[in-house]
């Protein structure tokens, strides 16, 4: 089975990430290897295949679609065969910020949509 995921989240600075419209999509390179990353602006997107050894075959590829202002859109497609209930892989994004003392942070608004 092949799945396509668009994942969004809000960064620690309160910026909202959301899916862009089809008109915003510009083709970029897929990255499919263990620990592969792609950087766009302050964002790093990771492709993590940490459970691939429990698969008999398959792969996962991730691609950044766009960065518009503070809105990052990426997708991950994967297809795995093997033990059904074992996690094989995932993708995640990191927003790089300037370090702050914990006492200087009054809130950390976060939103996930998929």
Contact 87, 3 (CB under 8 A): no
Inter-CA distances, 10 with 37, 56, 63, Å: 19, 35, 19
What CATH number did the domain enclosing 20 receive? 2.60.120.180
Specify if 19 maps to a domain. Answer: yes
The two tokens of residue 109 are: 């608004």
Query: What pLDDT sits at residue 64?
Result: 96
Specify if 64 maps to a domain. Answer: yes
Query: What pLDDT sits at residue 83?
Result: 86
Q: Which residues contact 84 (CB under 8 A, 6 or more apart)?
A: none
Residue 75 has pLDDT above 50, yes or no: yes
Comparing CA positions, the residue from 4, 92, 109, 99 lying closest to residue 43 is: 92
Residue 8 has pLDDT above 50, yes or no: no
Query: What pLDDT sits at residue 27?
Result: 54
- pTM to 2 decimal places: 0.66
Number of domains in the chain: 1
Give residue 110's pLDDT band: very low, low, confident or very high (50, 70, 90): confident
Q: Which residues contact 26 (CB under 8 A, 6 or more apart)?
A: 65, 66
Specify if 42 maps to a domain. Answer: yes
pLDDT, tens only, 29-55: 899 999 999 999 999 999 999 999 999
Radius of gyration of the chain (CA): 16
Specify if 62 maps to a domain. Answer: yes
Specify if 49 maps to a domain. Answer: yes
Specify if 80 maps to a domain. Answer: yes
Specify if 40 maps to a domain. Answer: yes
Residue 113 has pLDDT above 90, yes or no: no
Structural domain boundaries enclosing 76: 3-99
């Amino acid at each position: 089975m092949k799945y396509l995921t668009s994942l969004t989240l809000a960064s620690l600075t309160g910026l909202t990430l959301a899916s862009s419209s089809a008109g915003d999509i510009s083709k970029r390179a897929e990255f499919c290897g263990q620990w592969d990353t792609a950087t766009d602006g302050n964002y790093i997107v990771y492709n993590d295949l940490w459970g691939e050894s429990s698969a008999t075959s398959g792969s996962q590829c991730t691609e950044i679609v766009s960065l518009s202002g503070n809105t990052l859109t990426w997708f991950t497609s994967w297809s795995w065969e093997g033990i059904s209930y074992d996690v094989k892989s995932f993708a995640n994004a990191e927003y790089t910020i300037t370090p702050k003392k914990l006492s200087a942070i009054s809130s950390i608004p976060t939103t996930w949509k998929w």
